[in-house]
Structure 1
Amino acid sequence: MQLNIFGEKIEGITYQKRLGVYAVIFNFKKDRVAAVKTTNGHYFLPGGGIEKDEKFEECLRREVLEEIGYEISIRTYIGNAMMHFISTKNEPILSNSYFFTAQLGEKILEPIEEDHFFEWITMEEIEKRLVHDHHIWGVKEGLKIYNVED
């Protein structure tokens, strides 16, 4: 199994490991993907960090609900990818992320995270808009799964 590692690992720096799970949610035509835009203009896939003793699926449902206010049904495991990066708070992070395709369900509430806004971005925009390369990888791999299932 291939290990998908993105970003530049700078020697001599200790990276804080963060375990996370993210949803790749396509619209019906599969020409747009759900994204979360923050107030600083950064785009991410819906999802985030796993809390103590939380299962991947539980975390993904919670994070999507908090960030965009929707229920989801989790469909297919895409894979695992990691990325080295320096956060906006100047912290060296090694994001160890698991990606799943999911289907958007019912809107349950307004997003809890006030600096997060739900947007559909086109497939042509993913490389320009999504901040993290491993998120771009997740979208491309997720699209391959849908193309096989259709």
Structure 2
Amino acid sequence: METKIGIGVMVFKDGKVLMARRKGSHGQGEYAFPGGHLEYMEGFEECARREVREECGIEIEDIEFLLIANVVKYAPKHYVHITLTAKWKNGEPVNREPEKSEAWAWYSLDELPEPAFEMCSLSVRSYTRDNTTDPSLGEKDKYQVTDDRRSIPPVYVERTICYGEKRVDDKGRVSYSLGDVTVGVTSDERRVYHVRYEHD
């Protein structure tokens, strides 16, 4: 099977996020944010707006990058997952794809429904900064989002992790390097915290 790129969107309204229980696919019965597959030549924000509109019938704004993760929990399916955050703009959530999920509802971050879709669990941990699996990382490194991270296609990041040279520095920080790209990951190798592109 081929690796696919998935986009998930944490849509916020009055301090709550939009979620629904999945059905008919991997992660069935788990609660997830709206999202779907990145289409050919589609931008991240464009994909986020389209998927939220198609699934929920609402419009969003202030879209920002949050997370990229290598997800193999649902093997044999393999995803490079990208989470974006966004603010609700207008419209009321309507389940436009009932074959894919149950009704949409707003949930507080401290009262999220269980079980959660793996990508959502990773995203919430990143958003709330509760991921303490790698104490060697300082706050600046741990949550750094750089211009490189925004601009490098996720397939390059995934390729670097899969085929790059693994390095561990004197502080125990793990990174992979392939060509001009270096990707820093947490010690459990489940979350990317830094991407650097070395060019002339």
Query: When the two structures are superposed, what TM-score results if normalisation uses the length of structure 1?
Result: 0.69
Q: Deviations over 1:117-137 (max 9, x none)?
A: 2112332444733121x3212
Query: Do the aligned residues in 2 keep the contact of 1:42 with 1:131 (CA within 8 Å)?
Result: yes
Give 1:25's aligned residue: 11
2:3 partner SS: strand
| Whole-angstrom CA distance in 2 between matches of 1:135 and 1:49 | 15
Based on CA coordinates, which of the two structures has the bigger radius of gyration?
2
| Whole-angstrom CA distance in 2 between matches of 1:61 and 1:84 | 26
Structure 1: runs of 5+ lacking an equivalent: 1-14, 145-150
Structure 2: runs of 5+ lacking an equivalent: 130-200
Q: Deviations over 1:17-65 (max 9, x none)?
A: 110111112332x3x3211223553311111101111111111111111
Q: Which amino acid aligns with 1:130?
A: A
Identity of aligned residues (%): 25
Q: Deviations over 1:63-118 (max 9, x none)?
A: 111111111114321121121033xxxx6111111111100111178443123321
After TM superposition, the structure 1 = structure 2 runs for residues 78-89 of structure 1, keeping only pairs within 5 Å, are 78-86=66-74
1:16 partner SS: coil
Pairwise CA RMSD: 2.4
The structure showing larger relative contact order (alpha-carbon pairs under 8 Å, at least 6 residues apart) is 1
For the pair 1:123 / 2:109, whether they are aligned, the reply is yes
126 and 96 in structure 1: CA distance in 2 versus 1, 3 angstrom threshold = farther
Query: When the two structures are superposed, what TM-score results if normalisation uses the length of structure 2?
Result: 0.53
Q: Which has the higher strand share?
A: 1
Aligned residues: 123
Deviation at 1:16, TM superposition (A): 3.3
